Chains A and B, each alone.
Chain A
Amino acid sequence: MTQPLLALENVSIHFGNKRVVDNLNLELRAGERLALVGESGSGKTVTALSILRLLPQTRISGRILFNGENLVAKSDDALRQVRGADIAMVFQEPMSALNPLYTIGAQIAESLMLHEGLTRAQARVRTISLLERTGIREPERRVDSFPHQLSGGQLQRAVIAMALACNPRVLIADEPTTALDVTVRARIVKLLIDLQEQGLTRHNGEPMAILLITHDLNLVRRFAQRVAVIEKGKLVESGETETLFAAPQHPYTIKLINSIPVRNLQNVSPQAPLLLETRRLRVEYPKKRQGIAAWWGSDRFVALASANIELRQGETIGIVGESGSGKSTLSQAILQLIRSAAGEIEFEGAPLASLSKSRIRQLRSRLQVVFQDPFGSLSPRQTVSQIIGEGLALHFPELSAEQRYQRIAQVLQEVGLPLTALDAYPHEFSGGQRQRIAIARAVVLEPKVLILDEPTSALDVSIQNQVLKLLLGLQQKYGLSYVLITHDLSVVNALAHRVYVLKDGEIVEHGETEALMASPANPYTQALVQASL
Chain B
Amino acid sequence: MASLDDLKKRISSVKSTQKITKAMKMVAAAKLRRAQESAEKGRPYSDKMNNIILNLSNGISDIENAPKLLSGTGENKVHLCIVMTSDRGLCGGFNTNIIKKAKQYFQKVLDEGKTLKIITVGTKGYDQLKRLYGDNIIERISFKESKNVNYFDADKVGKIVIEKFEKKEFDVCTIFYNQFKNVITQIPQEQQIIPLNTSEKHENSLEDNYEFEPEEDEILSNLLPKNISTQIFKAMLENSASEQGSRMSAMDNATRNAGEMVDKLTIEYNRSRQAAITKELIEIISGAESL
Q: Do A and B come from one complex?
A: no
Query: Which residues of A approach B to under 8 Å, CB–CB?
Result: none
